Chains A and B, each alone.
Chain A
Amino acid sequence: MTPPVALVTALAPDPAGVVAAARIVAAPDGRGGTALPVLEGGGPFALRRVGGRGAEARVALVGAMSAPLGGDRLTLDARVEAGAALAFSTTAATIALPGRTGAPATYDTRIDVADGAALRWLPEPLISAHGSDVRTTTRVALGAGARLLLREEQVLGRAGEPPGRLRSRLTIHHAGRPLFDQELNYGPGAPGWDGGAVLGGHRAVGQLVVVHPAFEERPMAARPLGATAAVTPLAGPAVVVSAVARDALELRKVLDSWASELNDVIRAF
Protein backbone atom coordinates (compact mmCIF):
# COMPACT_ATOMS: atom_id res chain seq x y z
CA MET A 1 0.00 0.00 0.00
CA THR A 2 1.28 3.52 -0.85
CA PRO A 3 2.11 5.49 2.29
CA PRO A 4 -0.13 8.50 2.84
CA VAL A 5 1.40 11.71 1.63
CA ALA A 6 0.15 15.14 2.63
CA LEU A 7 1.41 17.29 -0.17
CA VAL A 8 2.16 20.88 0.58
CA THR A 9 -0.37 23.42 -0.57
CA ALA A 10 1.22 25.72 -3.12
CA LEU A 11 -1.12 28.64 -2.45
CA ALA A 12 -2.74 29.64 0.81
CA PRO A 13 -6.23 28.11 0.71
CA ASP A 14 -9.16 30.44 0.37
CA PRO A 15 -10.69 30.74 3.86
CA ALA A 16 -14.06 29.87 2.31
CA GLY A 17 -12.59 26.66 0.90
CA VAL A 18 -11.78 25.30 -2.51
CA VAL A 19 -14.52 24.38 -4.95
CA ALA A 20 -13.23 21.84 -7.42
CA ALA A 21 -14.59 19.23 -9.78
CA ALA A 22 -13.17 16.41 -11.82
CA ARG A 23 -14.72 14.35 -14.58
CA ILE A 24 -13.87 11.05 -16.22
CA VAL A 25 -15.69 9.50 -19.16
CA ALA A 26 -14.58 6.08 -20.40
CA ALA A 27 -15.87 4.80 -23.75
CA PRO A 28 -14.93 2.01 -26.15
CA ASP A 29 -12.12 3.12 -28.49
CA GLY A 30 -13.39 1.01 -31.38
CA ARG A 31 -10.31 -1.27 -31.30
CA GLY A 32 -11.29 -3.40 -28.34
CA GLY A 33 -9.86 -1.00 -25.79
CA THR A 34 -11.14 1.90 -23.72
CA ALA A 35 -10.68 5.59 -24.57
CA LEU A 36 -11.00 8.49 -22.15
CA PRO A 37 -12.78 11.22 -24.13
CA VAL A 38 -13.09 13.28 -20.92
CA LEU A 39 -10.39 13.44 -18.28
CA GLU A 40 -10.37 16.77 -16.54
CA GLY A 41 -9.90 18.10 -13.05
CA GLY A 42 -9.02 21.31 -11.27
CA GLY A 43 -7.81 22.33 -7.81
CA PRO A 44 -6.67 19.28 -5.88
CA PHE A 45 -7.64 16.94 -8.68
CA ALA A 46 -4.97 15.95 -11.16
CA LEU A 47 -6.10 12.95 -13.19
CA ARG A 48 -3.58 10.94 -15.18
CA ARG A 49 -4.00 8.08 -17.59
CA VAL A 50 -1.54 5.48 -16.34
CA GLY A 51 -1.53 2.84 -19.06
CA GLY A 52 -3.96 -0.01 -19.14
CA ARG A 53 -4.42 -3.71 -19.08
CA GLY A 54 -6.17 -5.37 -22.01
CA ALA A 55 -9.46 -3.60 -22.66
CA GLU A 56 -9.23 -1.60 -19.43
CA ALA A 57 -8.11 2.03 -19.20
CA ARG A 58 -6.48 3.09 -15.95
CA VAL A 59 -6.77 6.48 -14.33
CA ALA A 60 -4.93 7.69 -11.25
CA LEU A 61 -5.85 10.70 -9.18
CA VAL A 62 -2.61 12.38 -8.22
CA GLY A 63 -2.85 14.43 -5.04
CA ALA A 64 -2.02 17.99 -6.06
CA MET A 65 -2.48 19.47 -2.60
CA SER A 66 -3.79 18.64 0.84
CA ALA A 67 -7.50 18.12 0.47
CA PRO A 68 -10.13 18.12 1.62
CA LEU A 69 -9.67 20.94 4.08
CA GLY A 70 -12.65 22.13 6.08
CA GLY A 71 -14.88 24.24 3.82
CA ASP A 72 -13.72 22.59 0.59
CA ARG A 73 -16.36 21.31 -1.82
CA LEU A 74 -15.06 18.62 -4.10
CA THR A 75 -16.96 16.63 -6.70
CA LEU A 76 -15.77 13.76 -8.81
CA ASP A 77 -17.86 12.34 -11.65
CA ALA A 78 -17.08 9.15 -13.52
CA ARG A 79 -19.05 7.56 -16.34
CA VAL A 80 -18.22 4.23 -17.93
CA GLU A 81 -20.10 3.68 -21.18
CA ALA A 82 -21.32 0.34 -22.52
CA GLY A 83 -18.41 -1.85 -23.64
CA ALA A 84 -15.78 0.17 -21.77
CA ALA A 85 -13.68 -0.88 -18.77
CA LEU A 86 -12.10 1.55 -16.33
CA ALA A 87 -9.86 1.22 -13.29
CA PHE A 88 -9.55 4.17 -10.92
CA SER A 89 -6.98 4.61 -8.18
CA THR A 90 -5.37 7.37 -6.16
CA THR A 91 -1.61 7.73 -5.71
CA ALA A 92 -1.89 8.40 -1.97
CA ALA A 93 -4.34 8.36 0.88
CA THR A 94 -6.76 11.27 1.06
CA ILE A 95 -6.32 13.13 4.33
CA ALA A 96 -9.19 15.21 5.68
CA LEU A 97 -7.71 18.16 7.56
CA PRO A 98 -9.27 20.96 9.60
CA GLY A 99 -10.05 24.17 7.71
CA ARG A 100 -9.88 27.72 8.96
CA THR A 101 -13.57 28.24 9.53
CA GLY A 102 -14.64 24.99 11.14
CA ALA A 103 -17.01 24.37 8.22
CA PRO A 104 -17.17 20.75 7.08
CA ALA A 105 -15.56 19.71 3.82
CA THR A 106 -17.70 17.84 1.31
CA TYR A 107 -16.48 15.30 -1.18
CA ASP A 108 -19.16 13.96 -3.52
CA THR A 109 -18.53 11.21 -6.04
CA ARG A 110 -21.01 10.23 -8.74
CA ILE A 111 -20.42 7.05 -10.68
CA ASP A 112 -22.40 5.73 -13.62
CA VAL A 113 -21.61 2.31 -15.06
CA ALA A 114 -23.66 1.31 -18.10
CA ASP A 115 -25.03 -2.12 -18.88
CA GLY A 116 -22.08 -4.13 -20.21
CA ALA A 117 -19.44 -1.81 -18.73
CA ALA A 118 -16.93 -2.58 -15.99
CA LEU A 119 -15.39 -0.43 -13.29
CA ARG A 120 -12.74 -1.12 -10.67
CA TRP A 121 -12.78 1.77 -8.20
CA LEU A 122 -9.85 1.32 -5.85
CA PRO A 123 -8.84 4.54 -4.10
CA GLU A 124 -6.41 4.63 -1.19
CA PRO A 125 -7.98 5.20 2.25
CA LEU A 126 -9.60 8.35 3.52
CA ILE A 127 -7.84 9.40 6.73
CA SER A 128 -9.80 11.54 9.14
CA ALA A 129 -7.22 13.75 10.89
CA HIS A 130 -7.84 15.17 14.35
CA GLY A 131 -10.02 18.28 14.19
CA SER A 132 -11.24 17.67 10.64
CA ASP A 133 -14.88 17.38 9.59
CA VAL A 134 -15.66 15.78 6.25
CA ARG A 135 -18.84 14.50 4.62
CA THR A 136 -18.50 12.24 1.66
CA THR A 137 -21.19 10.83 -0.56
CA THR A 138 -20.65 8.21 -3.23
CA ARG A 139 -23.62 7.47 -5.46
CA VAL A 140 -23.28 4.67 -7.94
CA ALA A 141 -25.83 3.91 -10.68
CA LEU A 142 -25.31 0.54 -12.33
CA GLY A 143 -26.94 -0.77 -15.48
CA ALA A 144 -28.42 -4.28 -15.30
CA GLY A 145 -25.32 -6.05 -16.63
CA ALA A 146 -22.70 -3.68 -15.19
CA ARG A 147 -19.73 -5.06 -13.27
CA LEU A 148 -18.24 -3.24 -10.30
CA LEU A 149 -15.44 -3.74 -7.82
CA LEU A 150 -15.38 -0.91 -5.31
CA ARG A 151 -13.16 -0.55 -2.28
CA GLU A 152 -13.76 1.97 0.48
CA GLU A 153 -11.47 2.36 3.48
CA GLN A 154 -11.58 4.83 6.33
CA VAL A 155 -8.88 5.40 8.90
CA LEU A 156 -9.84 7.28 12.04
CA GLY A 157 -6.98 9.57 12.97
CA ARG A 158 -3.38 9.58 11.83
CA ALA A 159 -1.04 7.41 13.93
CA GLY A 160 -1.66 8.01 17.61
CA GLU A 161 -4.17 10.86 17.30
CA PRO A 162 -7.93 10.88 17.92
CA PRO A 163 -10.06 11.09 14.78
CA GLY A 164 -11.92 14.03 13.34
CA ARG A 165 -15.58 13.80 12.37
CA LEU A 166 -16.29 11.65 9.35
CA ARG A 167 -19.64 11.08 7.69
CA SER A 168 -19.64 8.90 4.64
CA ARG A 169 -22.58 7.59 2.63
CA LEU A 170 -22.36 4.98 -0.09
CA THR A 171 -25.49 4.42 -2.17
CA ILE A 172 -25.60 1.91 -5.01
CA HIS A 173 -28.54 1.47 -7.36
CA HIS A 174 -28.67 -1.47 -9.69
CA ALA A 175 -31.03 -1.37 -12.67
CA GLY A 176 -32.88 1.47 -10.95
CA ARG A 177 -33.40 -0.40 -7.67
CA PRO A 178 -31.60 0.24 -4.40
CA LEU A 179 -28.87 -2.38 -3.92
CA PHE A 180 -26.75 -0.98 -1.10
CA ASP A 181 -27.15 2.08 1.08
CA GLN A 182 -24.96 2.72 4.05
CA GLU A 183 -23.89 5.73 6.05
CA LEU A 184 -20.92 5.61 8.40
CA ASN A 185 -20.60 8.28 11.03
CA TYR A 186 -17.61 8.44 13.33
CA GLY A 187 -15.71 10.74 15.63
CA PRO A 188 -16.61 13.55 18.01
CA GLY A 189 -20.32 14.32 17.80
CA ALA A 190 -21.32 10.89 16.43
CA PRO A 191 -23.09 9.26 19.41
CA GLY A 192 -21.91 5.75 20.31
CA TRP A 193 -19.48 5.45 17.40
CA ASP A 194 -16.77 3.81 19.48
CA GLY A 195 -19.05 1.54 21.51
CA GLY A 196 -19.39 -2.21 21.17
CA ALA A 197 -22.09 -1.99 18.46
CA VAL A 198 -20.22 0.19 15.97
CA LEU A 199 -16.40 0.09 16.08
CA GLY A 200 -15.50 -1.22 19.55
CA GLY A 201 -12.08 0.45 19.59
CA HIS A 202 -11.09 -0.34 15.99
CA ARG A 203 -9.58 2.53 14.02
CA ALA A 204 -9.82 1.28 10.44
CA VAL A 205 -12.96 0.19 8.66
CA GLY A 206 -13.58 -0.77 5.10
CA GLN A 207 -15.42 -2.76 2.57
CA LEU A 208 -15.17 -4.30 -0.81
CA VAL A 209 -18.32 -4.31 -2.91
CA VAL A 210 -18.50 -6.62 -5.91
CA VAL A 211 -21.41 -6.50 -8.33
CA HIS A 212 -21.50 -9.05 -11.13
CA PRO A 213 -24.49 -10.31 -13.15
CA ALA A 214 -23.44 -13.94 -12.56
CA PHE A 215 -24.20 -13.57 -8.82
CA GLU A 216 -27.87 -13.51 -9.90
CA GLU A 217 -27.73 -17.23 -10.73
CA ARG A 218 -24.90 -18.21 -8.42
CA PRO A 219 -24.97 -16.14 -5.24
CA MET A 220 -22.08 -16.48 -2.81
CA ALA A 221 -22.75 -17.90 0.64
CA ALA A 222 -22.41 -15.68 3.69
CA ARG A 223 -19.30 -16.39 5.68
CA PRO A 224 -17.65 -14.92 8.76
CA LEU A 225 -13.91 -14.19 8.34
CA GLY A 226 -12.47 -14.38 11.80
CA ALA A 227 -13.89 -12.07 14.46
CA THR A 228 -13.77 -8.77 12.60
CA ALA A 229 -14.79 -9.37 8.99
CA ALA A 230 -17.55 -11.07 7.04
CA VAL A 231 -18.56 -11.87 3.47
CA THR A 232 -22.21 -11.05 2.95
CA PRO A 233 -24.23 -11.51 -0.24
CA LEU A 234 -26.65 -8.64 -0.80
CA ALA A 235 -30.28 -8.98 -1.88
CA GLY A 236 -29.16 -8.58 -5.49
CA PRO A 237 -26.26 -9.74 -7.72
CA ALA A 238 -23.59 -8.49 -5.33
CA VAL A 239 -21.43 -9.40 -2.39
CA VAL A 240 -19.83 -7.18 0.25
CA VAL A 241 -16.77 -7.94 2.33
CA SER A 242 -16.84 -5.76 5.46
CA ALA A 243 -14.01 -5.48 7.93
CA VAL A 244 -12.88 -3.51 10.93
CA ALA A 245 -9.22 -3.54 11.96
CA ARG A 246 -6.70 -1.90 14.25
CA ASP A 247 -5.06 0.06 11.46
CA ALA A 248 -4.95 0.63 7.72
CA LEU A 249 -2.39 -2.09 6.99
CA GLU A 250 -4.29 -4.80 8.81
CA LEU A 251 -7.49 -3.72 7.04
CA ARG A 252 -5.89 -3.77 3.60
CA LYS A 253 -4.53 -7.25 4.23
CA VAL A 254 -8.04 -8.61 4.83
CA LEU A 255 -9.58 -6.80 1.87
CA ASP A 256 -6.73 -7.73 -0.50
CA SER A 257 -6.92 -11.41 0.33
CA TRP A 258 -10.64 -11.27 -0.46
CA ALA A 259 -10.15 -9.28 -3.61
CA SER A 260 -8.02 -12.10 -5.01
CA GLU A 261 -10.46 -14.78 -3.84
CA LEU A 262 -13.37 -12.90 -5.42
CA ASN A 263 -11.41 -12.51 -8.63
CA ASP A 264 -11.09 -16.30 -8.76
CA VAL A 265 -14.84 -16.67 -8.22
CA ILE A 266 -15.59 -14.19 -10.98
CA ARG A 267 -13.14 -15.78 -13.42
CA ALA A 268 -14.88 -19.13 -12.85
CA PHE A 269 -18.31 -17.74 -13.87
Chain B
Amino acid sequence: MSTMSAALLVLADGRFPAGGHAHSGGAEAAVKAGRVTDGASLEAFCRGRLHTAGLTAAGLAAATAAGIDPLAVDAAADARTPSPALRAAARRLGRQLMRAARAAWPSPELDALAAALPRGAHQPVVLGLVARAAGLGPLAVAHAAAYEAVSGPATAVVRLLSLDPFEATAVLARLAPELDAVASAAADAAGAALVEGLDALPAPAAPLLDITAEQHAAWPVRLFAT
Protein backbone atom coordinates (compact mmCIF):
# COMPACT_ATOMS: atom_id res chain seq x y z
CA MET B 1 0.00 0.00 0.00
CA SER B 2 2.91 2.37 -0.60
CA THR B 3 2.49 5.59 -2.56
CA MET B 4 5.09 4.57 -5.13
CA SER B 5 3.76 1.76 -7.18
CA ALA B 6 3.76 1.01 -10.89
CA ALA B 7 -0.01 0.44 -10.62
CA LEU B 8 -0.37 4.16 -9.84
CA LEU B 9 1.52 5.03 -13.02
CA VAL B 10 -0.82 2.82 -15.05
CA LEU B 11 -3.91 4.35 -13.45
CA ALA B 12 -2.76 7.99 -13.73
CA ASP B 13 -1.42 7.64 -17.28
CA GLY B 14 -3.19 10.03 -19.64
CA ARG B 15 -3.51 7.11 -22.07
CA PHE B 16 -5.46 4.98 -19.60
CA PRO B 17 -8.66 4.40 -21.62
CA ALA B 18 -11.17 6.01 -19.24
CA GLY B 19 -12.36 8.92 -21.38
CA GLY B 20 -10.61 11.75 -19.54
CA HIS B 21 -9.10 13.17 -22.73
CA ALA B 22 -12.56 14.40 -23.82
CA HIS B 23 -12.80 16.79 -20.84
CA SER B 24 -11.11 20.15 -20.33
CA GLY B 25 -12.20 20.59 -16.70
CA GLY B 26 -13.74 23.98 -17.43
CA ALA B 27 -10.72 25.22 -19.39
CA GLU B 28 -12.62 25.49 -22.69
CA ALA B 29 -15.17 27.86 -21.12
CA ALA B 30 -12.38 29.82 -19.39
CA VAL B 31 -10.49 30.22 -22.68
CA LYS B 32 -13.64 31.44 -24.43
CA ALA B 33 -14.29 33.96 -21.61
CA GLY B 34 -10.72 35.26 -21.90
CA ARG B 35 -9.78 34.07 -18.42
CA VAL B 36 -7.08 31.71 -19.70
CA THR B 37 -4.89 33.28 -22.38
CA ASP B 38 -1.31 32.12 -21.72
CA GLY B 39 0.92 30.07 -19.44
CA ALA B 40 0.52 32.39 -16.44
CA SER B 41 -3.29 32.46 -16.55
CA LEU B 42 -3.32 28.68 -17.16
CA GLU B 43 -1.25 28.26 -13.99
CA ALA B 44 -3.66 30.45 -11.98
CA PHE B 45 -6.60 28.48 -13.38
CA CYS B 46 -5.00 25.12 -12.57
CA ARG B 47 -3.95 26.25 -9.08
CA GLY B 48 -7.53 27.31 -8.31
CA ARG B 49 -8.95 24.11 -9.76
CA LEU B 50 -6.47 21.95 -7.83
CA HIS B 51 -7.33 23.50 -4.47
CA THR B 52 -11.09 23.37 -5.08
CA ALA B 53 -12.48 20.67 -7.39
CA GLY B 54 -9.17 18.77 -7.16
CA LEU B 55 -9.13 18.61 -3.37
CA THR B 56 -12.81 17.67 -3.27
CA ALA B 57 -12.28 14.83 -5.78
CA ALA B 58 -9.11 13.66 -4.01
CA GLY B 59 -10.96 13.51 -0.68
CA LEU B 60 -13.80 11.46 -2.15
CA ALA B 61 -11.38 9.06 -3.85
CA ALA B 62 -9.25 8.69 -0.72
CA ALA B 63 -12.33 8.06 1.46
CA THR B 64 -13.52 5.31 -0.86
CA ALA B 65 -10.02 3.81 -0.96
CA ALA B 66 -9.99 3.90 2.85
CA GLY B 67 -13.01 1.61 2.88
CA ILE B 68 -15.96 3.95 3.44
CA ASP B 69 -19.20 2.73 1.79
CA PRO B 70 -18.97 3.85 -1.86
CA LEU B 71 -22.70 4.60 -2.03
CA ALA B 72 -22.41 7.00 0.91
CA VAL B 73 -19.38 8.64 -0.70
CA ASP B 74 -21.36 8.92 -3.94
CA ALA B 75 -24.09 10.84 -2.09
CA ALA B 76 -21.41 13.11 -0.59
CA ALA B 77 -20.12 13.68 -4.14
CA ASP B 78 -23.62 14.68 -5.32
CA ALA B 79 -23.87 17.22 -2.48
CA ARG B 80 -20.49 18.67 -3.52
CA THR B 81 -21.51 19.00 -7.19
CA PRO B 82 -24.31 21.57 -7.56
CA SER B 83 -24.04 21.66 -11.37
CA PRO B 84 -26.16 18.94 -13.03
CA ALA B 85 -23.88 19.14 -16.10
CA LEU B 86 -20.92 18.27 -13.89
CA ARG B 87 -22.82 15.53 -12.03
CA ALA B 88 -23.71 13.93 -15.36
CA ALA B 89 -20.10 14.23 -16.57
CA ALA B 90 -18.75 12.74 -13.33
CA ARG B 91 -21.08 9.73 -13.66
CA ARG B 92 -20.24 9.25 -17.32
CA LEU B 93 -16.52 9.31 -16.48
CA GLY B 94 -17.17 6.95 -13.60
CA ARG B 95 -18.86 4.50 -15.95
CA GLN B 96 -15.99 4.68 -18.44
CA LEU B 97 -13.39 4.20 -15.71
CA MET B 98 -15.40 1.28 -14.35
CA ARG B 99 -15.32 -0.47 -17.74
CA ALA B 100 -11.55 -0.07 -18.17
CA ALA B 101 -10.78 -0.93 -14.56
CA ARG B 102 -12.84 -4.12 -14.47
CA ALA B 103 -10.64 -5.38 -17.30
CA ALA B 104 -7.42 -4.15 -15.69
CA TRP B 105 -8.05 -5.05 -12.02
CA PRO B 106 -11.13 -7.30 -11.74
CA SER B 107 -12.67 -7.09 -8.28
CA PRO B 108 -15.93 -8.03 -6.56
CA GLU B 109 -16.12 -4.51 -5.08
CA LEU B 110 -16.11 -2.98 -8.57
CA ASP B 111 -18.75 -5.50 -9.70
CA ALA B 112 -20.94 -4.61 -6.71
CA LEU B 113 -20.74 -0.86 -7.35
CA ALA B 114 -21.43 -1.32 -11.08
CA ALA B 115 -24.51 -3.36 -10.16
CA ALA B 116 -25.72 -0.84 -7.56
CA LEU B 117 -25.26 2.19 -9.84
CA PRO B 118 -25.56 0.95 -13.44
CA ARG B 119 -25.67 4.53 -14.76
CA GLY B 120 -22.33 5.23 -13.16
CA ALA B 121 -20.99 6.39 -9.82
CA HIS B 122 -19.10 9.67 -9.51
CA GLN B 123 -15.66 9.17 -11.07
CA PRO B 124 -13.66 9.79 -7.83
CA VAL B 125 -15.71 7.08 -6.08
CA VAL B 126 -14.91 4.57 -8.82
CA LEU B 127 -11.28 5.73 -8.73
CA GLY B 128 -11.15 5.00 -5.00
CA LEU B 129 -12.48 1.47 -5.49
CA VAL B 130 -10.09 0.88 -8.40
CA ALA B 131 -7.26 1.86 -6.06
CA ARG B 132 -8.37 -0.85 -3.63
CA ALA B 133 -8.47 -3.39 -6.46
CA ALA B 134 -5.02 -2.31 -7.64
CA GLY B 135 -3.50 -2.44 -4.17
CA LEU B 136 -3.14 1.33 -3.85
CA GLY B 137 -3.91 3.25 -0.68
CA PRO B 138 -5.81 6.51 -0.02
CA LEU B 139 -2.73 8.74 -0.41
CA ALA B 140 -1.79 7.21 -3.76
CA VAL B 141 -5.28 7.58 -5.19
CA ALA B 142 -5.50 11.12 -3.86
CA HIS B 143 -2.37 11.89 -5.91
CA ALA B 144 -4.04 10.42 -9.01
CA ALA B 145 -7.24 12.46 -8.47
CA ALA B 146 -5.33 15.69 -7.78
CA TYR B 147 -3.14 15.18 -10.85
CA GLU B 148 -6.16 14.56 -13.06
CA ALA B 149 -7.69 17.83 -11.83
CA VAL B 150 -4.88 19.81 -13.46
CA SER B 151 -3.49 17.59 -16.23
CA GLY B 152 -6.82 17.63 -18.09
CA PRO B 153 -7.06 21.44 -18.31
CA ALA B 154 -3.34 21.80 -19.08
CA THR B 155 -3.47 19.42 -22.06
CA ALA B 156 -6.78 20.88 -23.24
CA VAL B 157 -5.32 24.40 -23.27
CA VAL B 158 -2.46 23.21 -25.48
CA ARG B 159 -5.12 22.37 -28.07
CA LEU B 160 -7.44 25.32 -27.38
CA LEU B 161 -4.80 28.08 -27.46
CA SER B 162 -2.03 26.32 -29.40
CA LEU B 163 -0.04 26.84 -26.20
CA ASP B 164 3.52 25.51 -26.28
CA PRO B 165 3.28 22.00 -24.76
CA PHE B 166 6.57 22.62 -22.95
CA GLU B 167 4.92 25.57 -21.20
CA ALA B 168 1.88 23.50 -20.19
CA THR B 169 4.14 20.81 -18.79
CA ALA B 170 6.16 23.43 -16.91
CA VAL B 171 2.89 24.60 -15.28
CA LEU B 172 2.25 21.06 -14.06
CA ALA B 173 5.81 20.73 -12.79
CA ARG B 174 5.54 23.99 -10.86
CA LEU B 175 2.30 22.77 -9.29
CA ALA B 176 3.83 19.44 -8.19
CA PRO B 177 4.58 20.49 -4.58
CA GLU B 178 1.00 21.74 -4.23
CA LEU B 179 -0.31 18.48 -5.71
CA ASP B 180 1.58 16.63 -2.97
CA ALA B 181 0.09 18.92 -0.32
CA VAL B 182 -3.46 18.52 -1.66
CA ALA B 183 -3.08 14.72 -1.81
CA SER B 184 -1.86 14.63 1.81
CA ALA B 185 -4.71 16.85 2.97
CA ALA B 186 -7.21 14.61 1.15
CA ALA B 187 -5.76 11.43 2.67
CA ASP B 188 -5.79 12.99 6.15
CA ALA B 189 -9.41 14.03 5.67
CA ALA B 190 -10.30 10.48 4.57
CA GLY B 191 -8.79 9.22 7.82
CA ALA B 192 -10.90 11.72 9.76
CA ALA B 193 -14.01 10.74 7.79
CA LEU B 194 -13.57 7.11 8.92
CA VAL B 195 -14.08 8.33 12.50
CA GLU B 196 -16.27 11.43 12.19
CA GLY B 197 -18.33 10.70 9.08
CA LEU B 198 -18.30 12.09 5.57
CA ASP B 199 -18.85 15.73 6.56
CA ALA B 200 -15.15 15.63 7.53
CA LEU B 201 -14.24 15.41 3.84
CA PRO B 202 -13.26 18.69 2.22
CA ALA B 203 -15.83 20.50 0.08
CA PRO B 204 -13.99 23.43 -1.51
CA ALA B 205 -15.80 24.83 -4.51
CA ALA B 206 -15.00 27.11 -7.44
CA PRO B 207 -18.00 29.30 -8.30
CA LEU B 208 -16.88 30.03 -11.86
CA LEU B 209 -16.31 26.34 -12.65
CA ASP B 210 -19.84 25.51 -11.49
CA ILE B 211 -21.47 28.48 -13.23
CA THR B 212 -19.65 28.15 -16.55
CA ALA B 213 -20.21 24.38 -16.70
CA GLU B 214 -23.92 25.02 -17.31
CA GLN B 215 -23.18 27.57 -20.05
CA HIS B 216 -20.63 25.29 -21.70
CA ALA B 217 -23.08 22.38 -21.68
CA ALA B 218 -25.50 24.56 -23.69
CA TRP B 219 -22.98 25.42 -26.44
CA PRO B 220 -24.07 23.89 -29.76
CA VAL B 221 -20.47 23.21 -30.84
CA ARG B 222 -17.60 22.50 -28.48
CA LEU B 223 -14.31 20.69 -28.57
CA PHE B 224 -14.57 19.13 -25.10
CA ALA B 225 -17.44 17.52 -23.17
CA THR B 226 -16.85 19.75 -20.12
Contacts and interface: CB of A to CB of B under 8 A. Distances in A.
Bound together: yes
Contacts, number: 139
Given A177-B75, A192-B51, A183 B206 contact: no
What secondary structure prevails in chain A residues at the interface with B? strand
B108 to A, nearest CB: 26
Contacts of B215: 224, 227, 230
A183 B82 contact: no
A197 B214 contact: no
Interface stretch (A52-60, A126-134, A236-244): A236-244
B82 A196 contact: no
Interface of B: 26, 30, 33, 35-36, 41, 44-53, 75-76, 78-85, 87, 178, 198-199, 202-215, 217-218
Interface stretch (A13-21, A33-41, A107-115, A198-206): A198-206
Interface residues of A, number: 42
B48 A222 contact: no
Given A195-B47, A227-B215, A230-B211, 13 more contacts: A177-B75, A184-B207, A192-B50, A195-B45, A196-B45, A198-B207, A199-B208, A200-B33, A200-B208, A223-B214, A228-B211, A230-B210, A242-B207
Nearest to A234: B82
Interface string A212-253: 000000000011100111111111100010111000000000
Contacts of A198: 48, 52, 206-209
Nearest to B34: A196
Contact of A183 (B35, B49, B198, B204): B204
Contacts of A190: 51
What secondary structure prevails in chain B residues at the interface with A? helix
A203 to B, nearest CB: 12
Interface string A60-90: 0000000000000000000000000000000
B85 to A, nearest CB: 7
Contact of B210 (A179, A200, A202, A242): A242
Contacts of A199: 207-208
Nearest to A206: B207
10 contacts: A178-B79, A181-B76, A191-B51, A192-B52, A195-B45, A195-B46, A196-B208, A197-B45, A235-B81, A240-B82
Given A195-B44, A195-B45, A182 B206 contact: no
B58 to A, nearest CB: 14
Contacts of B199: 171, 178, 181
A222 B83 contact: yes
Given A222-B84, A232-B82, A232-B83, A182 B45 contact: no
Contacts of A194: 44, 48
Nearest to B178: A191
A2 to B, nearest CB: 24
A192 B84 contact: no
A192 B46 CA distance: 8
A258 interface: no
A185 interface: yes
A181 B79 contact: yes
